[in-house]
Chain A
Amino acid sequence: MKSESPTVQRIWGTARWKPGASRLRLRLLAKRIWQDRVSYLMVAPYVIAFVTFILLPVLGAIGLSFTFYNMIETPRYVGLLNYIYLFTEDDVFMTHVLPNTFTFAVIVGPGGYLLAFLLAWLIAQLPHRVRTVFSLALYTPSMAAAVAMSAIWLVLFSGDRVGYLNSFLLGLGIITEPINWLHSVQWLMPVMIIVTLWSSMGVGFLAMLAGILNVDPQLYEAGRIDGVKNRLQEIYYITIPSVKPQMLFGAVMAIVNTLQAGAIGVTLSGQNPTPNYAGQLILNHIDDFAFQRFEMGYAAAVSVVLLIIVYLSSKLAWAFFGPKEGE
């Protein structure tokens, strides 16, 4: 048997293996808790908030995903039926939603991530005042996306002859008739990707910026003495290893944001489902089933699948950026 650490022994005492000791153990536990009541008080707000607002809903969703629930009747247990339906019968999910989400995630995830790192690095080179202005400017889109979208992108991608992009391309003779960017099956996805990339300088960007600014300047000096000749080497040998934790955070945030982006297609095209499901992402699908068809059980199943995808993707990010053995 493993020898227990002093802490364990202190908590459980020696009463552990004596017959009929469970009541004693409970009392001991209560005593211990009472002793540490201040600490418990300190963590209580977070624990309570976490349990009520995150843990319970997630568990509830997982529970609901095994039921049929239309928000009026009591949920009826149906086993794995929702999942089976999702992967075999739901043609929209298999033919549009999943492929769309994959395309979107593959481009926006790494693309936005690289962009965030690059811009963070560039901004870090600026003097202090200017840097603040620029980082605020870059961070704004992710805060005010919905408003800015209608102000800028809807005008830019307007489908008629006077939309900025159409007008510009028509003037150059690249196209001969205006393209309805936001309602065409072919163009909605690229537009969504562009807009999302633009607004992807979120928390991850700020974290990376902070990380880059926090790198000890002495490291760069030491590097220069050791033979670092240009900025590219600086980034590769010093900056990236130093900001690895922030980069991991940025990667996880990028994945989560990408997979949870759903409003974008609906906002741009102004309809849910998007035209011919061209911009339908998993979140739109959930929204469609939950709040338009009121099939809560099924929507819960889809969101559980989304949860699993997010979990697996962040595992992947860990594999890439997480601390390795010996670090």
Chain B
Amino acid sequence: MRRLLKLPVSLMIVCGIVILAEGPLFAAVPYPSFSFDAWGQRVVCPAPYEPIMMIDGFDILQEDRWSLTGYSVVPLSQPQGLAVDAKDRLYIADMGNNRVVVYDTQFNYVRSIGDSSGPGRLSRPQGVFVHDDGRIFVADTGNSRIAVFSSEGNFIQAYGKPASQIFGVDYRFAPVALAVDHRGTLFVVTEGGYRGLVQLTASGEFLGFIGGNQAGFDFLWVLKQLLFTEEQLSREARRLPRSPSSVTIDHQGLIYTTTISTNHAQIKRFNIGGVNTLPERDYGDRFFRTGVSMFTGVVVNEKGLITAVDANSGQVFQYTPSGDLLFVFGGRSIAAIERMGVIHQAAGIAMRSDGLLVVSDSRSNTLHVFQPTEFAQLVHEAVFLFEEGKYDQSAQYWQEVLRRNSNFDFAHRGLGMAAYQNERFQEAMDHFYLAQFGDGYSDAFWWARRAWLLEHFDTVLIVLAGLWLGYQAIKRLFFGHWRKPKRDWYQVNRLLGDLMHAKMVILNPSAGFYDVRWSNRGSWSSALIIVLLAFAAKLFSLYYTNLIFLSVDRNRINLAYEAMTFVLPWLIWVIANYLVSALKEGEGRFKDVFIASSYALVPYILIMIPLTIFSNVMTNYEATVYYFFKNAALIWCGLLFFVMVYTVHNYEILEAIPNCVLSIIMMVVIGAIGGLVIGMTFNVTDFALGLYKEVIFRVF
């Protein structure tokens, strides 16, 4: 009995955990919603859209001779592309039923198009587009043509395969999506159309391809091209770029495409010259992605807000007109439940002028209708003003947005821009810092620094000159002929002497390391102190470097992880180098390698700490200086490691090179074995724990 009871309870607990892991749930919204911070990390935010309706088409009656009533219900089947006309009526490419379904603004069924026999009969249509003048363009995939209907649904004409020589006899012209600009030019996505969108004039003439993706650079391919004969090359599989998966057009005539199965530049915006005007970057969820991005639909509203849907995750992504990610919401549910707002296989997306978002779900044969929440509307309003450069006016909206969700980083960016525009640089810096927006922070800081310099330049000059003169005077007056006797720190304290030996290592590495091996300089404790100091320098630089030069999110620094990536590799190096050298007739003992390796870290401490402090008065313009010194520190350390190897082990310089290489290989091996051991241990303990629980459970 007890067992029977326990099972459902534990199941419930498991389910609860899984649901919690998905993210916090908001009332009435069956999915988590996220905004993104400057590092591309998810930040939970209030739902930007809430589901209000699910359309399955059970109100669609069609004439049926065999039915008693003369009608039968034909619900949606595999709905694909969606479109909205000027009157906000919804058009659905209902692929499974070979028709296009029209709904009115209240989502009541109006008519079906293309399901009656005649020249206008459709076959597996995948895309639909409604022109401003009301004509309905259908990507009639099964018939390899584009069918055009009047707004009443009467067949007007069809565009078949263009008569250009580019389309050979074998070329299968299978349109899957299309967009039409105000001149009547068609932009057609075809199946496997790796050359891009087929551009047709209103009279069906082939204009050319536009918006093709690029195959990208492949080093192996270049090698093959250089080395292979023509015959060999012809036998190679051709490298083809990915074909676009959907297309849409905005009121300015800019063409938006999506590309599936890639994690780079999934969304593109082409101007009439075929140039992508969106930044080429990853438009998906960078850190939590299930497989590869599969953007199957994109829609743009009249203000340029881009919304796209990912078939793989079932999530809807919304971007600013500049391509910055605003929100992600939606997503598949864990269980195969039919629920309003839970998308299983997103196919198409449409947006009405009132902001309602419709997403077609081709697996559950439904459409989901989403309504923007007040929060999303505020953000949209702010973004539009922001994009137009009206930062001042957008500020009040951003403040309102922040009141609802103080974690919305983009709002701080907006407020920062407003402050920047009004030359309140300190305030702008604060906001940009909160938004972790390095470039903005740099610019604001530059102006703030300039203002400060402008005010205090003469003071700075006088102070500098005074310091210099004072230094010279003191030097002349007091230390003219008297030289400071060299102090032997060893006489003060053994440990202090060992630490001060670092100076010798820096000034004359060979001699310094020689003394480590042959004159007993340095000790375990001094080495440990230096390594800890270096680690402290690393932490110091992580926490106090100027935002501009940060490569990690300061709020997500994990001390254990930092130690693992700094101290651990160093320790592995010591072990690996000792082991390799012991085999290769190296003369250094383990202690020597340990101590000398610690001294090799000294330049890092010496450079990183002042550099970190100075970085706080630098801007992007001085980035070269910062990276120069940072790289100099690393190179210097690397050289010291090298000098250490040949000095401590008494090698020739040339002998030390293979030794270093071997040590590094050894490090990798040790790392791999270590990982394996840790993993195995984890499994074993897991097993033992499970066994113990099982025994307890069975016995009692």
Q: Give the residues in chain B near A236, CB-CB below 8 Å.
A: 653
A230–B654 CB distance below 8 A = yes
Interface string of A48-83 (1 = CB under 8 A from B): 000000000000000000000000000000001001
A173–B225 CB distance below 8 A = yes
Question: Pick the contact of A172 from B222, B446, B623, B624 — CB < 8 Å?
Answer: B222
Q: Report A12 CB to chain B, min CB distance, Å.
A: 25
- Which A169-187 residues sit within 8 Å CB-CB of chain B? 172-174, 176
Report the bound CA distance from A95 to B624 in whole Å: 12
B653–A232 CB distance below 8 A = yes
Q: Report A315 CB to chain B, min CB distance, Å.
A: 14
**Listed residue (A83, A102, A173, A236) with the most chain B CB atoms within 10 angstroms of its CB:** A173
**Listed residue (B624, B628, B652, B653) with the most chain A CB atoms within 10 angstroms of its CB:** B624
Interface string of B61-72 (1 = CB under 8 A from A): 000000000000
Question: Is B621 located at the chain interface by the 8 A CB criterion?
Answer: yes
Q: Give the residues in chain B near A89, CB-CB below 8 Å.
A: 454
Report the bound CA distance from A74 to B129 in whole Å: 75
Which residue of chain B has its CB nearest to the CB of A106? B628
Question: Is B107 located at the chain interface by the 8 A CB criterion?
Answer: no
Report the bound CA distance from A88 to B450 in whole Å: 6
Question: Is B472 located at the chain interface by the 8 A CB criterion?
Answer: no
A87–B624 CB distance below 8 A = no
Instruction: With A87-B457, A89-B454, A106-B628 as known contacts, state yes or no: A229 contacts B652, CB within 8 Å.
Output: yes
Question: Is B207 located at the chain interface by the 8 A CB criterion?
Answer: no
Which residue of chain A has its CB nearest to the CB of B225? A172
Interface string of B213-225 (1 = CB under 8 A from A): 0110110011001
Q: Report A230 CB to chain B, min CB distance, Å.
A: 6
Question: Is B453 located at the chain interface by the 8 A CB criterion?
Answer: yes
Q: Give the residues in chain A near B334, CB-CB below 8 Å.
A: none
Please give the number of chain A residues whose Cβ is less than 8 angstroms from any Cβ of chain B in the complex: 23
A80–B453 CB distance below 8 A = no
Which residue of chain A has its CB nearest to the CB of B447? A91
Q: Give the residues in chain B near A11, CB-CB below 8 Å.
A: none
Report the bound CA distance from A268 to B653 in whole Å: 42
Q: Give the residues in chain B near A232, CB-CB below 8 Å.
A: 653-654
Question: Is B622 located at the chain interface by the 8 A CB criterion?
Answer: yes
Interface string of A225-237 (1 = CB under 8 A from B): 0000110110010
A80–B461 CB distance below 8 A = yes
Which residue of chain A has its CB nearest to the CB of B275? A177
Q: Give the residues in chain B near A229, CB-CB below 8 Å.
A: 652
Q: Give the residues in chain A near B221, CB-CB below 8 Å.
A: 173
Q: Report B694 CB to chain A, min CB distance, Å.
A: 59
Report the bound CA distance from A83 to B454 in whole Å: 11
Instruction: With A80-B461, A88-B454, A95-B621 as known contacts, state yes or no: A233 contacts B217, CB within 8 Å.
Output: no
Interface string of A81-104 (1 = CB under 8 A from B): 001100111000011101100110
Question: Is B12 located at the chain interface by the 8 A CB criterion?
Answer: no
Q: Give the residues in chain A near B625, CB-CB below 8 Å.
A: 99, 102
B457–A88 CB distance below 8 A = yes
Q: Report A190 CB to chain B, min CB distance, Å.
A: 13
Q: Give the residues in chain A near B652, CB-CB below 8 Å.
A: 229-230, 233
Interface string of B461-487 (1 = CB under 8 A from A): 100000000000000000000000000
B653–A106 CB distance below 8 A = no
Report the bound CA distance from A173 to B215 in whole Å: 9
Which residue of chain A has its CB nearest to the CB of B619? A95
Which residue of chain B has its CB nearest to the CB of A228? B652
Q: Report A303 CB to chain B, min CB distance, Å.
A: 19
Report the bound CA distance from A174 to B223 in whole Å: 12
Report the bound CA distance from A232 to B623 in whole Å: 36
B214–A176 CB distance below 8 A = yes
Interface string of B585-625 (1 = CB under 8 A from A): 00000000000000000000000000000000000011111
Q: Give the residues in chain B near A106, CB-CB below 8 Å.
A: 624, 628
B458–A88 CB distance below 8 A = no
B222–A174 CB distance below 8 A = yes
Question: Pick the contact of B458 from A80, A103, A174, A233 — CB < 8 Å?
Answer: A80
Q: Give the residues in chain A near B215, CB-CB below 8 Å.
A: 173
Q: Give the residues in chain B near A96, CB-CB below 8 Å.
A: 621
Q: Report B237 CB to chain A, min CB distance, Å.
A: 15
Report the bound CA distance from A30 to B217 in whole Å: 80
Q: Give the residues in chain A near B654, CB-CB below 8 Å.
A: 230, 232
B622–A87 CB distance below 8 A = no
Question: Pick the contact of B621 from A84, A99, A172 — CB < 8 Å?
Answer: A99
- Which B648-686 residues sit within 8 Å CB-CB of chain A? 652-654
Q: Give the residues in chain B near A94, CB-CB below 8 Å.
A: 450, 621
Q: Report B210 CB to chain A, min CB distance, Å.
A: 15
B624–A88 CB distance below 8 A = no
Report the bound CA distance from A166 to B284 in whole Å: 33
Q: Give the residues in chain A near B461, CB-CB below 8 Å.
A: 80, 83
Report the bound CA distance from A174 to B142 in whole Å: 38
- Which B516-544 residues sit within 8 Å CB-CB of chain A? none
Instruction: With A172-B225, A173-B221 as known contacts, state yes or no: A87 contacts B453, CB within 8 Å.
Output: yes
Q: Give the residues in chain B near A233, CB-CB below 8 Å.
A: 652-653
Report the bound CA distance from A154 to B629 in whole Å: 33
Q: Report A191 CB to chain B, min CB distance, Å.
A: 17
Report the bound CA distance from A87 to B459 in whole Å: 13
Report the bound CA distance from A158 to B621 in whole Å: 28
Q: Report A263 CB to chain B, min CB distance, Å.
A: 22
- Which A94-152 residues sit within 8 Å CB-CB of chain B? 94-96, 98-99, 102-103, 106
Q: Report B508 CB to chain A, min CB distance, Å.
A: 11
Report the bound CA distance from A84 to B456 in whole Å: 10
- Which B215-252 residues sit within 8 Å CB-CB of chain A? 215, 217-218, 221-222, 225-226
- Which B8-30 residues sit within 8 Å CB-CB of chain A? none
Instruction: With A172-B225, A176-B214 as known contacts, state yes or no: A84 contacts B458, CB within 8 Å.
Output: yes
Report the bound CA distance from A106 to B453 in whole Å: 26
B624–A102 CB distance below 8 A = yes
Which residue of chain A has its CB nearest to the CB of B226? A172
Can you name 5 A-B pairs with beta carbons within 8 Å? A84-B458, A88-B457, A174-B222, A176-B214, A229-B652
- Not counting A84-B458, A173-B225, A232-B654, a sample of 19 additional A-B residue pairs whose C-beta atoms are within 8 angstroms of each other reads A80-B461, A83-B461, A87-B453, A87-B457, A88-B453, A89-B454, A94-B450, A99-B621, A99-B625, A102-B624, A102-B625, A102-B628, A103-B624, A106-B628, A173-B215, A173-B217, A173-B218, A174-B222, A229-B652
